Amino acid sequence: MHEMSITQSVIDICSQNAAGRRVTSVTLEIGELSGVVADAVEFCFEACSKGTLVDGAQLHIEQLPGMGRCHDCGVSVAVHAYYDPCPTCGGFGIEVISGEELRVKELEVE
């Protein structure tokens, strides 16, 4: 499960940016097309944060929808999976413009 190593990296980022202060809340943005399972990150968060500055912090996950622009008809469309056809024209030339994100959006410290 790669979510364990991703969650450990999130804990490392939070600890480095907390500057020695205890973290009380972490907000993550996870895009629908990122390949990261939000429930698995939630599951791993407590175990990965044990004994760190992030231990006991609340985790908030904001899931971002996938969005794309069709090269054939120019329409902006929701993208739920790579290589889905455009629902307007049926073309397969959709450029993903959002939904691949995975970032620490906000960090609250004491």
Q: Are 72 and 93 in contact (CB under 8 A)?
A: yes
Quickly state the pLDDT bin for 9 (edges 50, 70, 90): very high
- Taking CA atoms, 89 is separated from 25, 67, 69, 75, 97, in Å, by 44, 16, 12, 9, 18
Q: Are 66 and 31 in contact (CB under 8 A)?
A: yes
Amino acid at 43: F
Output the pLDDT for position 70: 96
Is the pLDDT score of 1 beyond 60? no
Per residue in 35-58, pLDDT (tens digit) is 999 999 999 999 999 999 999 999
Q: What structural domains and CATH numbers belong to the chain?
A: 2-65+99-109 (3.30.2320.50)
**Average pLDDT score, the chain:** 95
CB neighbour list of residue 103: distance below 8 Å, 6 or more residues apart: 28, 29
Amino acid at 90: G
